[in-house]
Amino acid sequence: MKKLLSVVLAICLLASTLVVASANEAKNPFTDVKEGAWYYSQIVKAADLSLINGKTATEFKPDDLLTYAEAIKLAACMNELYTTGKVTLVNGTPWYQTYLDYCTEHKIISKTYNYGDNATRAGYMEIFANALPDEAFKDINNIPDGSILDVDGQAPYAIYVYKLYKAGIVTGVDELHNCNPDAFIKRSEVATILCRMMDEAQRVSFKMAEDEPVVVPPEDPEITTEIPVQDAEHTEVLPTKPVEIDKPAIQAPLTIHKQPEGAELDSYGVKHELEVQVFGGKAPYTYEWYYKARRDNVTIENGDYVKDADTAALVLSVEKENTLLGATIYCKITDSEGDTVTTEGVKVYGPFSMPVEQSLNSDGENVLTGRVEDGVLRAGDKVSVIRNGKVVAIGVAEDLQMFNKSLDEILKGDNAGIFFAKEDGVRPSNGDIVVKYREGDVVDTSDIVN
């Protein structure tokens, strides 16, 4: 079985290389996985073997971080492929339940996780180290106890980290082969781990830094030496300053890895998630979401239209009554050592609507003035005019103005004028509501008396 899998998976490469075209080459379904990226072949092949899939049918999201739910799915698929030669597992409800049940039944995991949380490196190593039978983890490296400088030998995950190091599946994040156990891992980086897990030929033989000390004459501190840098994702040679083995591992500073994304929703009754991801610092992290009210920064709390306000993924219900719509929202993240970072501010809008306070006729053009109730409208957008629940006119917002100045867009809270070029229907009047045109809007003026 292992020989067969080695043949099937042999094209999983350790770095970005030219992918040799063939009639049987796996096709890349992901628009955000570009040929030439170092992770290209790993993601394409792993997806083709049903070991890993995208966030959507066409997007893999290579820079997103791996969640515990995704790690459990990968472990289940690896185990089934290794033991049966194929993957038959499919999503359940919730989507990861099938894989969770499989991993529990096959003793791959023995505890519960917050499945939507990002997996730490130590966390995913514990899961992956149990994903295959012990026979699949042949030692090829001598990794003495205590040689991984940033892994406490008494930590519950230490045994799993050493198991993967010894098997050449994980090699660390720097020239000292530090593990960085509390950091998170990108989905793109996991692809190489999958290849090394499933194909022994791709595993890496190396020695710990203390076995190969770098000697530099003290009288010439400017001399540098090239040291092979091997990490869990790819290998490259970088010029580096000499290192002292007895120095503690350097902790990456706390930084924003993924900013939350705002949105303009087409309808009410939906939910929008504002997700932030951080890298570095020291876990665990705390998350505090805020919104700006004039000059004040107000803490967001859970309520009828808000949930998960103390997590990395704030969820807003897009309803007219949600006062957070149109507000600037941001997140402050603090690590266990007190270091903080703050995301950029973003806004979430509901569908565009503006009640008409005045309908003027200027040089043959209809100018509709009012205060935008919600959403965003851009110059050139097609719009519909609603009266008593019916579409009475359809046209184009040819120009948008405030204080006699043309604008590219107007948004919630703006007092504005829309230069409305009518294509069909009647002339709008006071009390009508301007909304964005929706496919299928049809003018109905049957009960209007002109």
Question: Taking the chain (450 residues) in consecutive chunks of 10 residues, what is each chunk's mean pLDDT?
Answer: 37 29 64 87 78 82 89 92 89 92 94 90 93 94 90 89 94 86 85 84 82 40 35 39 41 82 93 86 87 90 93 91 95 92 95 94 78 96 95 94 92 94 92 94 84
* Residues 279 and 378 occupy one common structural domain: no
Give pLDDT, residue 25.
Answer: 65
Give pLDDT, residue 416.
Answer: 95
* Residues 28 and 90 occupy one common structural domain: yes
* Residues 337 and 391 occupy one common structural domain: no
Q: Which residues of 345-359 are buried (b: 16+ CB within 10 A; e: fewer)?
A: bbbbbbbbbbebeeb
C-beta neighbour count of 155 within 10 angstroms: 12
Does 236 fall in a domain? Answer: no
C-beta neighbour count of 144 within 10 angstroms: 10
* Residues 168 and 281 occupy one common structural domain: no
Distance from C-alpha of 346 to C-alpha of 260, rounded to nearest angstrom = 7
* Residues 371 and 327 occupy one common structural domain: no
* Residues 26 and 159 occupy one common structural domain: yes
Give pLDDT, residue 193.
Answer: 85
Does 240 fall in a domain? Answer: no
Distance from C-alpha of 265 to C-alpha of 277, rounded to nearest angstrom = 23
* Residues 385 and 305 occupy one common structural domain: no
pTM: 0.53
Give pLDDT, residue 134.
Answer: 92
Does 215 fall in a domain? Answer: no
Angle at 307 between CA 303 and CA 309, to 5 degrees: 100
The SS3 of residue 284 is coil
Give pLDDT, residue 240.
Answer: 39
* Residues 342 and 357 occupy one common structural domain: no
Give pLDDT, residue 244.
Answer: 40
Domain that holds residue 357: 353-436
* Residues 172 and 264 occupy one common structural domain: no
Does 295 fall in a domain? Answer: yes
Distance from C-alpha of 442 to C-alpha of 450, rounded to nearest angstrom = 19
Residue where one domain finishes, among candidates 202, 232, 263: 202
Give pLDDT, residue 211.
Answer: 46
Residue where one domain finishes, among candidates 316, 349, 382: 349
Q: What is the CATH number of the domain that holds 378?
A: 2.40.30.10
* Residues 293 and 427 occupy one common structural domain: no
Give pLDDT, residue 10.
Answer: 32
* Residues 338 and 394 occupy one common structural domain: no
Residue where one domain finishes, among candidates 291, 314, 349: 349
Does 219 fall in a domain? Answer: no
Long-range contacts of 50-53 (CB under 8 A, 24+ apart): 50/77, 50/81, 50/87, 51/77, 51/78, 51/81, 51/87, 51/194, 51/198, 52/77, 52/187, 52/190, 52/191, 52/194
* Residues 429 and 394 occupy one common structural domain: yes
Give pLDDT, residue 252.
Answer: 72
Give the H/E segment covering residue 252: none
Give pLDDT, residue 363.
Answer: 57
Number of domains forming the structure of the chain? 3
Amino acid at 426: V
